[in-house]
Structure 1
Amino acid sequence: MKTLLTGATGTLGRAVHALLAERGHEVVTAARKNADITVDITDPESIRAMYEKAGRFDALANAAGWVPWKPFAELSHADVLAGLAGKAASQVELVRQGSAYGTDEASFTLITGVTTRDPILTGSVASLANGAVEAFARAAAIELPHRQRVNVVSPTVFTESIEAYGDLFAGFEPVPVRLAALAYVRSIEGHQTGQVYLV
Structure 2
Amino acid sequence: MKILLIGATGTLGTAVHKALGDRGHEVLTVGRGGGDLRYDITDPVQITELYDRAGRVDAVASAAGDVPYKPVTEMTPEDYLAAFRGKVLSQIDLVRQGVPHIAERGSFTVITGILAREPIPTGSAASMANGALEAFVRAAAIEIAPQRINAISPTVFTESLADYGDYFPGMASVDLADVAQAYVRSVEGAQTGQIYAP
Is 1:120–2:103 an aligned residue pair?
no
Q: Distance in 2 between matches of 1:173 and 1:196?
A: 18
Question: Could you tell me how far 1:106 is from its partner in structure 2?
Answer: 1.0
Name the counterpart of 1:170. 169
Q: Deviations over 1:45-87 (max 9, x none)?
A: 1111111111000000000000000011000000000001111
Q: Distance in 2 between matches of 1:128 and 1:88?
A: 9
Q: Deviations over 1:105-143 (max 9, x none)?
A: 110000000000000000000000000000000000000
Structure 1: segments with no counterpart, 5+ residues = none
Name the counterpart of 1:99. 99
Name the counterpart of 2:192. 193
SS at match of 1:66: coil
Question: Could you tell me how far 1:171 is from its partner in structure 2?
Answer: 1.6
What amino acid is aligned across from residue 187 of structure 1 in structure 2? Answer: S
Question: Could you tell me how far 1:167 is from its partner in structure 2?
Answer: 1.5
Name the counterpart of 2:86. 86
Question: Could you tell me how far 1:99 is from its partner in structure 2?
Answer: 0.5
1:1-199 correspondence runs (5 A): 1-145=1-145, 147-199=146-198
SS at match of 1:143: helix
Question: Could you tell me how far 1:180 is from its partner in structure 2?
Answer: 0.6
SS at match of 1:49: helix
Q: Distance in 2 between matches of 1:87 and 1:34?
A: 19
SS at match of 2:184: helix
Question: Could you tell me how far 1:164 is from its partner in structure 2?
Answer: 1.2
Question: Could you tell me how far 1:187 is from its partner in structure 2?
Answer: 0.3
CA RMSD of aligned residues (A): 0.7
Question: Could you tell me how far 1:39 is from its partner in structure 2?
Answer: 1.1
SS at match of 2:34: coil
Question: Could you tell me how far 1:95 is from its partner in structure 2?
Answer: 0.1
Question: Could you tell me how far 1:158 is from its partner in structure 2?
Answer: 0.2
Question: Could you tell me how far 1:34 is from its partner in structure 2?
Answer: 1.6
Q: Distance in 2 between matches of 1:33 and 1:59?
A: 22
Higher helix share: 2
Q: Distance in 1 between matches of 2:113 and 2:93?
A: 19
What amino acid is aligned across from residue 156 of structure 2 in structure 1? Answer: V
Q: Distance in 1 between matches of 2:148 and 2:174?
A: 26
SS at match of 2:144: coil
